[in-house]
Chains A and B, each alone.
Chain A
């Protein structure tokens, strides 16, 4: 910031301050219109009786904590919270580990490595709904490729009910989401790996460090800023999951794959009770906000200015 310079009162400094604000103005307007307004509206909406009638009459009477009470009393909210957590942690864990393993693998550059890496990006390019439709067929209990394969190699004899059993469905959805998320993790981590100076590895080799030790002592610490970025972005896109679940299981069987995303969709757009839908939306925002604050405090060094590269 050049606040000190402004205070020097050079001729025309007032004008310059004005210009500076004019520059900031579009960004501020943008933030207010597209982030501030919806956020405030969503919070207000959760305290209003916001139904189809509201759209016709423009009236949305405040009803205190009624929406919150209705949502919090619903046992489904607890299930959805828990399942969202399991889904997020499971997806991130799988995507990150496999993405990192692949990134390390490809950073060794061998013949065709570029081509194979490009092919691995495919899941990222396919629209999520298309992936889901294909996976629904792959995971079909009786005629799906996955079960046929498992039977062929003798891992399972009577077919895993991937999407039709409440005790397996959530794991299946996580599995598909991991598959979708690997390319993103791989690409970003691969970029991070390419930035680690070669000399460090040479020095480590001279000192007699094995590959395992090199990975833990050099690769991972040097990769830390990239890792945090990948995990934060991954968290943001995973915690609000909606389309994948809707297309794969519709939240079933027996609500075993309901997440906060599907719950708010159901309340707002199927029951047309926008007030209650906003409550769940707010809970989702709150979770993201808490996570963001914790993250910023813990990792200011990684992303903030001043430190790092």
Chain B
């Protein structure tokens, strides 16, 4: 039967094709890395950022006789990409993680303590060491860190004849005076995600809140009540529960907010326009004389364990060079973040007077994971639940914190 013959041939081809696809799929996994190449997994997907990173890498790698290859994925995918790479034993030589993700990776035992790969971490600020540490061991180095500050519209403040507020009382009054027509006195982000939590922390911590024991003391409730008061008083928009930090910046730039809480990553956007004149001040504190305690943020470079110790050492050499005073200073200026070496930070402060408040703030800033370690994602979630339910009037600050503690304490 000719028909059946034709059919057979075609099916044989199909089976052959399927087998070939499977074979190539499996073979694609094994790629032998070049011994003189150091691979880096980071989130520099933006072309300019990618090139700037490459610049700094090359500057350090060439004298060492090395080459650097970056693999960049969007920031929120770095962790899951790294996990997938780890499961196929193909993790890069350097893994650049967000500081808040470090504990979960360090806990796996898959990272090498940085002193074991020859990175000398002397003169780093305490808060940046905390950002790169888990259980008392440092696994990651931050070249520079960011934090949050009060950014204000100088023109609107001058018109109203007020100074940037330094205490909560002053913030209340100043924000009220600046509120008129379409303009709110103040804006912050209160989204139920990392953005909102990051912005809540300076209020929570400055008031004495403790993320490990949410119901302890009055700090937490005071911070929640203060946020609620600003929104209820009409000096902050009710929409903040839905504004991420980008939205807050947009509001500020369109003149609908006279002051905002935001970080130095907005500087390029702020610099690129000339509608709004802006300046930076420290975050107001509950009472005069107290230190503001904002969160410290940024990425840390870690060295995953590798059977080939030489590769680890190469990664270590590269890290040491990237964290020299000169390189840290240049990198900090490139990304508007504060270098973590005290000496470099001091020079950064002098050379960038406009961003100097950030340099001061990181000195008293804290790492989100310092106290709660791997539990941070759960605790952060619980905090987000607390301020969202208070701001939307679903519960009182005290009840919200009790619920949050139950949620945070539930798991392990």
In the assembled complex, the CB of B74 is this many whole angstroms from the nearest CB of chain A, namely 12
Residue of A nearest to B79 (CB): A272
- Kindly identify which residue among B4, B12, B80, B392 contacts A16, using a CB–CB cutoff of 8 Å: B4
Question: Which of B11, B191, B385 is most buried by chain A, counting CB atoms within 10 A of its CB?
Answer: B11
* A165 located at the interface, meaning its Cβ lies under 8 Å from any Cβ of chain B in the complex: yes
Instruction: Give the distance in Å from the alpha carbon of A74 to the alpha carbon of B384 in the complex.
Output: 16
Q: Which residue of B lies closest to A252 (CB)?
A: B192
Query: Which of chain A's residues have a CB closer than 8 A to the CB of B105?
Result: 52
Contact of B110 with A by CB under 8 A: yes
Contact with A along B251-295 (1 / 0, CB 8 A): 000001000000000000000000000000000000000000000
Q: Is A35 an interface residue (CB 8 A)?
A: no
Q: Are B84 and A250 in contact (CB under 8 A)?
A: no
Q: Judge if A19 is at the interface, Cβ distance under 8 Å.
A: yes
Q: Report if A271-B377 is in contact (Cβ < 8 Å); known contacts: A22-B11, A70-B410.
A: yes
Interfacial chain B residues near A207, Cβ < 8 Å? none
Q: Contact at B193–A140, with CB atoms within 8 Å?
A: no
CB distance from A75 to the nearest CB of B (A): 9
User: Which residues of chain B come closer than 8 Å to A181, judged between CB atoms?
Assistant: none
A-binding residues in B (CB < 8 A): 4, 7-8, 11-12, 14-15, 18, 79-80, 83-84, 86-87, 104-105, 107-110, 182, 191-193, 237-242, 256, 377-378, 381, 384-385, 388-389, 391-392, 394, 407, 410-411
Given A53-B107, A271-B381; A253-B242 close (CB under 8 Å): yes
CA distance A132 to B19 in the complex (A): 42
A250 near B193: Cβ-Cβ < 8 Å: yes
Task: Provide the residues of chain B in CB contact with A282, threshold 8 Å.
Answer: none
- Which residues in chain A, 220-261, are within 8 Å of chain B measured between CB atoms? 249-255
A29 close to chain B: CB less than 8 A: yes
Q: Which of A54, A249, A253, A270 contacts B391 (CB 8 A)?
A: A253
Contact present for A23 and B410 (CB under 8 Å)? no
Q: Which residues of A contact B84 (CB under 8 A)?
A: 55
A219 within 8 A of B: no
A259 to chain B, nearest CB (A): 14
Within 8 A of B (CB), among A67-96: 70, 73-74
Contacts of A279 in B (CB 8 A): none
We find that the number of chain A residues with CB closer than 8 angstroms to chain B is: 41
CB closest chain-A residue, reference B385: A255
Could you mark each residue 272-285 of chain A with 1 if its beta carbon is under 8 Å from any beta carbon of chain B, else 0?
Answer: 11000000000000
Within 8 A of B (CB), among A139-164: 140-143, 161, 163-164
Contact: B256 with A254, CB < 8 Å?
A: no
Any B CB within 8 A of the CB of A166: yes
- The distance in angstroms between the C-alpha atoms of A143 and B182, with both chains bound, is 9
Bound-state CA distance A234–B184 (Å) is 42
Q: Which residues of A contact B392 (CB under 8 A)?
A: 164-166, 253-254
Complex CA–CA separation, A239 to B379 (angstroms): 28
Contact check, A253 vs B86: say whether CB atoms are below 8 A apart: no
- Other than A55-B108, A56-B86, A253-B388, give 6 A-B pairs with Cβ distance below 8 A: A19-B8, A164-B240, A165-B238, A250-B191, A252-B192, A255-B192
